[in-house]
A = this chain, B = another copy of it.
Amino acid sequence: MGLQTDKNYNIEEFDRPSVTVDVLLFTVHQGELKVLLIQRNSWPFEGFWALPGGFVQMDESLDEAAKRKLSEETGMLGVYLEQLYTFGGPKRDPRTRVVTVSYFALVPSAEVGSFESSDIRRVQWFGIRKLPELAFDHAEIIGFGVERLRNKIQYSSLAYGLLPDRFRFSDMQKIYEVILDKKLDKRNFRKQMMSLGLLEETGEKVVEGAHRPAMLYKFKKRDLVIFD
């Protein structure tokens, strides 16, 4: 999938790069870490999948641009966004020089499938081990984001963004196991999480199936420090 070129496009016509934002939206669903992608419907990389994103407008901050693009392209609102890294190799976009500021976001599994796209392009979640053909350097960006996710989850209450308001301890443990790609010990995991002092019991229980019901927990405050 070599880069395409277009003779009608004069790269010298512009003396400054374009600036875009790209958003890595992660979730854990059905035991897999997934990222949201959008299928491109125009050159370049027509038909390839890409991260939601687009040009930064002159009167909005980078954070605002990321929030806006995520909302426009996926319908997601109120998602916590964090700047990840800026990619700016001179050849990463065949149209012109494009510098992209990547962002990183997390949503609970329940949101999967709840987005509404404002245009005809397809929007879909992909397991990070089963990615389709990706446009631009988006494979690299996703790799970078996954790496960051793995690092951060160990030192922050990052899982907050991936869980619904109320959840079972086993739900939370599964999320950690999927991201870290290893089994964790139930007792040690509970000890660690509780020692952070961020969780509280709700008193509610989930009765489902032929086994002891699970207590539901929630994070103590809405204004948590989600990332370090």
A58 touches B97 (CB 8 A): yes
Return A14 CB to nearest CB of chain B, in Å: 8
Interface membership of A208, Cβ < 8 A? no
Q: Known: A99-B62, A99-B101. Contact between A56 and B17, CB under 8 A?
A: yes
Q: Known: A16-B18, A19-B16, A19-B19. Contact between A89 and B61, CB under 8 A?
A: yes
Interface membership of A227, Cβ < 8 A? no
B99 touches A99 (CB 8 A): yes
Return A92 CB to nearest CB of chain B, in Å: 9
15 A-B residue contacts at CB 8 Å? A11-B58, A14-B58, A16-B18, A16-B19, A16-B55, A19-B99, A56-B88, A56-B99, A59-B90, A61-B88, A61-B90, A62-B88, A83-B86, A86-B86, A86-B101
Q: Given the complex of chains A and B, what is the CA–CA distance between A17 and B18 in angstroms?
A: 7
Interface membership of A15, Cβ < 8 A? yes
Number of copies of this chain in the oligomer? Answer: 2
Interface membership of A85, Cβ < 8 A? yes
Return A122 CB to nearest CB of chain B, in Å: 28
Interface magnitude class on chain A: 20 to 34
Task: List the 6 shortest-distance A-B pairs measured between CB atoms, nearest first.
Answer: A62-B88, A86-B86, A17-B19, A86-B101, A61-B89, A58-B97
Interface residues of A in 52-66 (CB under 8 A from B): 55-56, 58-62
Q: Given the complex of chains A and B, what is the CA–CA distance between A13 and B107 in angstroms?
A: 39
Per-residue contact bits, chain A 161-177, to B (CB 8 Å; 1 contact, 0 not): 00000000000000000
Return A214 CB to nearest CB of chain B, in Å: 35
Q: Given the complex of chains A and B, what is the CA–CA distance between A90 and B61 in angstroms?
A: 6
Interface residues of A in 33-83 (CB under 8 A from B): 55-56, 58-62, 83
Q: Given the complex of chains A and B, what is the CA–CA distance between A97 and B87 in angstroms?
A: 19
Interface residues of A in 89-121 (CB under 8 A from B): 89-90, 97, 99, 101
Return A94 CB to nearest CB of chain B, in Å: 14
Q: Given the complex of chains A and B, what is the CA–CA distance between A30 and B14 in angstroms?
A: 47
A15 to chain B: closest residue by CB: B58
Q: Given the complex of chains A and B, what is the CA–CA distance between A60 and B89 in angstroms?
A: 7
Interface residues of A in 1-40 (CB under 8 A from B): 11, 14-19
Report chain B residues within 8 Å CB of A86.
Answer: 62, 83, 86, 101
